[in-house]
Amino acid sequence: MQEHFHFTTDRAKIQKQYAAIFFFVSAQLSLIQTHLQRRNRHLVKQEDDVIIAIHILGKLLGFSSERAWHRFVTGNLFTNGQFLERSRYNRRCRALRWAIKWIRHELAKRGQHHAYAVVDSLPLELCHAARMHR
């Protein structure tokens, strides 16, 4: 599905979702900015709120492959080449994992009015492998 996602999705809708997530992330990131201690912050090509918003949007859209998501972002949201390389983007996401986790938690707290729920399921073994073909 994700290989053909760009054919079935309206670009304006994706940009509107990105803008909404970006404004939420930038407001929440200002609350925890003092806890993010990094060197050379003045040399970054993309700000932390952009990276976090892009990462959260990818998870909301269901992308599980970092490579496919980066290809989608550079092809649809940042077409002018102003986005990070794939390896640098993945390293920044890993460096910001604490902030991403906190912001996703805050986003989930605000979205409790949706008709969706998370279900933890455990696969049950119905028959043993020896009896599977009977």
Q: How confident is the model at residue 128 (pLDDT cuts 50, 70, 90)?
A: low
How far is CA 134 from each of CA 33, 82, 126, 129, rounded to the nearest angstrom?
60, 58, 13, 10
The predicted structure's pLDDT at residue 122: 67
The predicted structure's pLDDT at residue 133: 66
**In the predicted structure, residue 91 carries a pLDDT above the cut 60:** yes
**In the predicted structure, residue 2 carries a pLDDT above the cut 70:** no
Domain ranges of the chain: 11-113
Cα atoms found within 13 Å of the Cα of residue 75, Cβ hemisphere only: 12
Q: Name the residue with tokens 């990094």.
A: 38
